[in-house]
Structure 1
Amino acid sequence: MSTPLVEARGIVKRYGPTVALQDGQLTVLPGESHALVGRNGAGKSTLVNVLTGLQAPDEGTIRFDGEPAPPLADRDAWRRKVACVFQTPTLVPELTVAENLFLAEIHAAKSTRRSLRSGRGSGGCPPDEHSINRQPIGRGGFISWRKLKAEAAEVLGTWDVHVDPDARTADLKVEDRQMVEIARALGFGARFIVLDEPTAQLDNREIERLFTRMRALQESGVTFLFISHHLQEVYEVCQTVTVLRDARWITTAPVADLPRAALVEAMAGEAVAEYTVNARDAAAVEAPVALEAHGLTSESYENIGLTVRHGEVVGLAGSSGSGKVELAESLAGLHTPTGGTARLDGKPLPFGDVQAALKAGVGCVPRDRHEQGLVSGMSIGDNTTMSVLNRLGRYGFIGTQRKRGFAADLIERLDIHAEGPDQSVSDLSGGNAQKVVMARALASAPRLLVLINPTAGVDVKSKESLLARMDSAREDGTAVLVVSDELDDLRRCDRVLVLYHGRIVAEYPAGWHDHELIASIEGVDHG
């Protein structure tokens, strides 16, 4: 057996009285894709922070290639060992690809030039071999932009990343931004790359391209730690899996030797029952129409007509460029179509005005809880009640106890694991944070509930809890429109509409087979 590329043993990390990781263990062999899975709050992020040198463990050891990890302050040494491509990109969007690849060197060049002007010299230790190879700096500390572009093209070419070095990073597709981040890490010398939920914003084709690139990089000697809540991806791209639960190591095993049911049980601590689609009764099928849209058109979709009845869940499926998300966001008041109409319970649905849509009876879980769903500096109580403050007081005065009581009820209904309404949402795990977003959407008792990727980036049990709330909304007579790339989410729907290039091309009643829905999403038989 070869020496592990990365080895963590007995990792313990505490934050005051909270034990974030009690027994972190990980052994990653060179050239493999190793999955790290567990429910939100299991300790994955804490272990990654320790593995990447962002935090020091309180106990335990980290070794790379059999050698102790570098001192925490030696950031260059850490960059040569390991890099993390986070779910939220760390590239600077307004800079070019080349500038992002050499951002540290550009900063160093400017610092050198300032030092030379002041007569102090560059100071510090001389750069090592890696930084010399990566510094596009000319005489006097000035940046050689020609050299920068040439070296960027060389780095991209070495790792088969087909991106223009002069392209503005904000204009790149998500998958290309991820590959630029990987190329930047490899350019520093790292051969161990942590991928944190890399597929969360990708469609099926983009995911397959990412996996193809991962396999090619593995053949070149690159090793991956792959973190994902999509267990089917673990079986598709990884050779080994490590499970954390309740801040402890549970098991490490070859993926081929661990059936999906056993993996879920290891993550959850108990078996998770499969959801069964039940046939709708006749009364539900004949329920009044809640949402009715005709001829909706925009840059992203064209001539959309659809209905959603009270007590019905309708899914929207399609690739990332299908227009499904933009359509749902339009119905939630985020965009204004260029043509067409929509009515909710017979009244015109306002476009381009979120507050007006909320007042009209629309609740929404947006696609990105971090950017659109939560105010991170506020408490759980503030976040869950901000859409219904007018109901909690009169003339602008809000009763504090009434608001806390309302929020506490939502926390209980959504099974949000928290200390109480006053706890900051920034302290919550991903699954509980998403439950807060769902709680706010339900707080206004909407007649139409729009859910956009409602279970993205959450663990198995949180996903089941969120989908159970969707089921409860249906039982309460709410019309639900759900957009998702997750087949498990769409399986809960009474009907699924497939969008392809901005048009509805197919409709599937409950009970569809995976292969037929996927084929429709990918454009098979649509011309």
Structure 2
Amino acid sequence: MDQNAGKRMDVYLELSDICKNFGITKAINHSDFVVRLGMITGLIGPNGAGKSTMMKIITGVYSQDGGTVKFPTLKDGGGKYDTNSARDKGIYCAYQELSLCTNLRVYENFLLCTMSHTPFGKRGFRTRARAEAKELLDQVFPGNGIHVNSLTSELTMVQRQMVEICKAAAHENLKVLLLDEPTSFLPTERIGQLHSYLKKLCADKNIAIIYISHKLDEVEQICETVNVMKNGVNTEISDMQNVTKEKMIQLMGGEESLSHRPEKAVSRAKEEILLEIKDYSGKNLHHINLQIRKGEIIGISGLDGGGQADLLRAIYRLVNGRKLPDTKDMKISYVSGDRGKEGILPYWTIGENMSVASYDIIAPKGLVFPQKMKAFAQHWFDRFSIRAQSVDGEITSLSGGNAQKVLIARGLATDADIILLNDPTRGVDIGTKQEIYRFMREAKEEKKTILLFSTEDTEMCQCDRVCIMHEGSIVRELSGASINEQNIVQTAFEWKSKGDGGAQGEESGGPEKSPAPVRRILSNRAFIAIVTFAVLYGIICCMQPAALTPLGITLLYSSVVPLIFAALGQMFISIGGGIDMGNSMSVGLVNVIVATVVSANAGLGAVYLAAVIVSYGLMGLLILKTRIPAVIVTLGFSFIWEGLAVLVSPTPGGICPPWLKKFCTFSVLNIPGPILVGAVAALIAWWVIRRSKYGIVLNALGNNKTVTERSGWSAAAATFTAYVLSGGFVVLSGIYMTSVQGSGDYSSTGAFCMMSIAVFILGGCEFIGAVSSPVGVVIAAFAMTSISTLLTFLKMNTNLQQMVTGLVLIVAMFVKNIVYRNNACSTE
């Protein structure tokens, strides 16, 4: 029976004679590609064949060098075809290198892609988004165990891939859904759920799906047509009924034979025991007993979330840290399948990436000679047939499969006794897989030991023994003829049924639930700042009981408000992906503008202050466009701010306008001014970052600029906004500094840069990943001021106060890292 009978096969998108070159490399060479509504189309090919390039042309990320992109059923006015054009026409993609922002909550990742670009969201838009995200996740992956209010960083890789797929399918105007290696992390059960949903999506909504995968069994199972790419040329096969897996491999240029299983395993029971782990328990692992012998391949299998990857990491730490007997001279290497997070060094060349773990071989005496390193890298470059111009090429220029080859070459090149492979064939073509299997067998013959974890159960047939894990324990060991996919799957699901009665949420180690109250408190970014302030303020109150009165609080913390605003300004720049090394001088500039210009002419002064804010926005755009690190640009701007301050007021002077002094010192209901201002500042910053619609975009920008742009948002507009907000807080800091001092002196704010950074860090923020905590920053400012006050009460020498302040901060950061690390362990 014809699979396509009864379906509308309207051509929605037609790419004709497409060419795309990168230097001398022809990524796409005069190729055609047709997308039909209501059809699942496969796209296969070896690594470097041009699949990713074709996908990026379809999604508007790349523009073609030749050929045409047409939408026959649409009135297309022509013009430039880019990501926004693709989105307008309903084309969305779930990327292999997951396009998620880990600092956002799960439902916020959905919102980033689906919300309108109007300035403000409708009331209750977050509540609706949570419900819609949960509904779609449950529809596609029943029993997924994902709490949509959880931070994405807390999810397992399986759960992240589920979110990535659902996020791409969440758009109301969806017409074409591209799935790039959508099952690379998914276990068998989840793959079945996905395939069922995709078939239903095509049948019910007439959606076109492009399914890009190296798993040919899946392509054969779900696709109605398949496009085979080789050397940038695409060939479409419309009759899948007569196409076998062997035929697809042949079309891709591979061997027709699929027999890549090793010969019958020889018993290694008499081989020397290289490593023995007895009753080990650790992170997500319980009572592990494992003998590792020389010259064997040990598979680690089981349902995802069973602790397989944790076991590999634990073995690496135990051996590398010399925590087991007889490991003093043992070498171990680790190869991750998550090349983006744990693998490639993006600023290094291909050769440097391959050689980085082998310096003891390349330079045994500590001196690295470039020619020797290049020759070493060239050997592995040739051995793995990596498709690139040379070892001096950029690692980021490689296709996903070739980048994975580099990482595997790095691990094998170390001459390690034990090689840990964490899903090493994820996202590579079948030819490359066969190469990897061959290298594994060669290493085994050289008496090397390999521990292999793979999300593909069929790969376990490469192993001499297979340890099947469930909930952090090894529950069964298979060897010899008993190693087959049926036994592995049967054992995994038998233990799942015994352990939880079929409970859902195995990917997260349990059913969907919110974090425990104690863990929620400990994981709160403001926790360390609150504890630090409480301890310090408690000591001050014991020494000076008057510190408990409103007047006492006002006197103690009269200087905290300028620091609060300076630190919040630092926070907004960090959200934009930078650091402000010049805010001490910009605050000083505002200070002298207020004391000299505003006091004489409020209107002119307001223009000057507005110019400072706009200048901050332009500074952000300069950083974005030139790609010069923010630390350099802001440091350069610090001299500009200082020079302007000198021009405005060469010597200290001026006065704080009386109306401004009155405004800055007001109180309500006898609440001390510093507390009132700090609370309002924290509330405003919290609303902008945590509750406003555009706050989602700002957070996404600092975490993953590429994802932000793929979601249809302007990185330039978001950067400008973040820096303008920072400039606004800098102006507020300078205004309140004038109120505190009563005059203008730009040199009086010299310590604000380092102080604001210290407050920023103590408040639970991070310079990498756009992790922020407005409440934590405000409380940390009070804590920093408390340190100075306490040391003054103790009559400590002024020269020693900075040293003690630094020590207190180091202790607080040490505790912070322990708390966050332990919390992270409990969520993984």
Smaller-chain TM-score bracket: 0.7 to 0.9
- Pair 1:80 & 2:88 matched: yes
Higher fraction of strand: 1
- In structure 1, distance between residues paired with 2:354 and 2:373: 10
* Aligned residue number for residue 119 of structure 1: none
* Aligned residue number for residue 573 of structure 2: none
Q: What is the deviation of 1:370?
A: 2.0
Contact 1:40 1:429 in 2 (8 A): yes
- In structure 2, distance between residues paired with 1:408 and 1:498: 38
Contact 1:25 1:249 in 2 (8 A): yes
Alignment deviations for residues 463-482 of structure 1 (CA, whole Å, 9 cap, x no partner): 11111111110010011111
Of residues 412-421 and 66-75 in structure 1, the stretch that sits farther from structure 2 once superposed is 66-75
* Aligned residue number for residue 178 of structure 1: 164
Q: How many residues align?
A: 479
* Aligned residue number for residue 370 of structure 1: 340
- In structure 2, distance between residues paired with 1:101 and 1:83: 13
Please show how residues 24-35 of structure 1 align to structure 2 within 5 Å.
24-35=31-42
- In structure 2, distance between residues paired with 1:314 and 1:342: 21
- In structure 2, distance between residues paired with 1:496 and 1:455: 17
State the AA in 1 paired with 2:88.
R
Please show how residues 184-199 of structure 1 align to structure 2 within 5 Å.
184=170, 186-187=171-172, 189-199=173-183
From 439, 448, 455, the counterpart of 2:409: 439
Contact 1:196 1:226 in 2 (8 A): yes
Contact 1:376 1:426 in 2 (8 A): yes
- Pair 1:505 & 2:480 matched: no
- In structure 1, distance between residues paired with 2:357 and 2:132: 51
* Aligned residue number for residue 199 of structure 2: 215
- In structure 2, distance between residues paired with 1:24 and 1:452: 36
Please show how residues 196-207 of structure 1 align to structure 2 within 5 Å.
196-207=180-191
- In structure 1, distance between residues paired with 2:229 and 2:431: 14
Please show how residues 323-472 of structure 1 align to structure 2 within 5 Å.
323-333=307-317, 343=324, 346-348=325-327, 360-393=330-363, 396-472=366-442
Q: Percent identity?
A: 26
Alignment deviations for residues 179-209 of structure 1 (CA, whole Å, 9 cap, x no partner): 441244x23x122110111111222222222
Higher fraction of helix: 2
Alignment CA distance shift 1:239-1:261 (3 Å): same
Of residues 194-203 and 485-494 in structure 1, the stretch that sits farther from structure 2 once superposed is 485-494
Q: What is the deviation of 1:74?
A: 6.1
State the AA in 1 paired with 2:163.
R
Alignment CA distance shift 1:302-1:165 (3 Å): closer
Of residues 203-212 and 310-319 in structure 1, the stretch that sits farther from structure 2 once superposed is 203-212
Q: What is the deviation of 1:429?
A: 2.5
From 149, 164, 170, the counterpart of 2:127: 149
Q: What is the deviation of 1:365?
A: 0.9
- Pair 1:296 & 2:280 matched: yes
Alignment CA distance shift 1:102-1:402 (3 Å): same
Tell me the SS of whatever aligns to 2:15: strand
Tell me the SS of whatever aligns to 2:286: coil
Q: What is the deviation of 1:215?
A: 2.5
Q: What is the deviation of 1:332?
A: 1.6
From 2, 8, 14, the counterpart of 2:15: 8
State the AA in 1 paired with 2:160.
V
- Pair 1:306 & 2:290 matched: yes
Tell me the SS of whatever aligns to 1:249: strand
Contact 1:380 1:425 in 2 (8 A): yes
State the AA in 2 paired with 1:181.
K
Q: What is the deviation of 1:424?
A: 2.0
Alignment CA distance shift 1:47-1:335 (3 Å): farther
State the AA in 1 paired with 2:332.
V
Alignment deviations for residues 322-368 of structure 1 (CA, whole Å, 9 cap, x no partner): 1111101111229999xxx974xx5158xxxxxxxxx7310111231
State the AA in 2 paired with 1:271.
E
* Aligned residue number for residue 479 of structure 1: 449
* Aligned residue number for residue 129 of structure 1: none
Of residues 60-69 and 26-35 in structure 1, the stretch that sits farther from structure 2 once superposed is 60-69
Contact 1:291 1:448 in 2 (8 A): no
Alignment CA distance shift 1:298-1:205 (3 Å): farther
- In structure 2, distance between residues paired with 1:251 and 1:464: 25
The gaps in structure 1 that reach 5 residues or longer are 107-133, 350-358
* Aligned residue number for residue 112 of structure 1: none
State the AA in 2 paired with 1:292.
E
- Pair 1:249 & 2:227 matched: no
- Pair 1:21 & 2:24 matched: no
Contact 2:180 2:213 in 1 (8 A): yes
- In structure 2, distance between residues paired with 1:153 and 1:336: 46
Tell me the SS of whatever aligns to 2:285: coil
Bigger radius of gyration, 1 or 2?
2
Alignment CA distance shift 1:334-1:191 (3 Å): farther
Alignment CA distance shift 1:293-1:391 (3 Å): same
From 205, 214, 228, the counterpart of 1:229: 214
Tell me the SS of whatever aligns to 1:220: helix
- In structure 1, distance between residues paired with 2:211 and 2:83: 23
- In structure 2, distance between residues paired with 1:68 and 1:265: 40
State the AA in 2 paired with 1:231.
L
* Aligned residue number for residue 65 of structure 2: 58
Contact 1:211 1:237 in 2 (8 A): yes
Q: CA RMSD in A?
A: 2.9
State the AA in 2 paired with 1:62.
V
Q: What is the deviation of 1:525?
A: 8.8
State the TM-score, normalizing by the size of structure 1.
0.83
Q: What is the deviation of 1:403?
A: 1.4
From 100, 108, 117, the counterpart of 1:99: 108
- In structure 1, distance between residues paired with 2:73 and 2:124: 40
Contact 2:285 2:311 in 1 (8 A): yes
- Pair 1:39 & 2:17 matched: no
State the AA in 2 paired with 1:79.
R
Q: What is the deviation of 1:63?
A: 2.7
State the TM-score, normalizing by the size of structure 2.
0.54
State the AA in 2 paired with 1:422.
D
Contact 1:175 1:206 in 2 (8 A): no
Alignment deviations for residues 275-333 of structure 1 (CA, whole Å, 9 cap, x no partner): 24323446x54221112111121242211111121111111111111111110111122
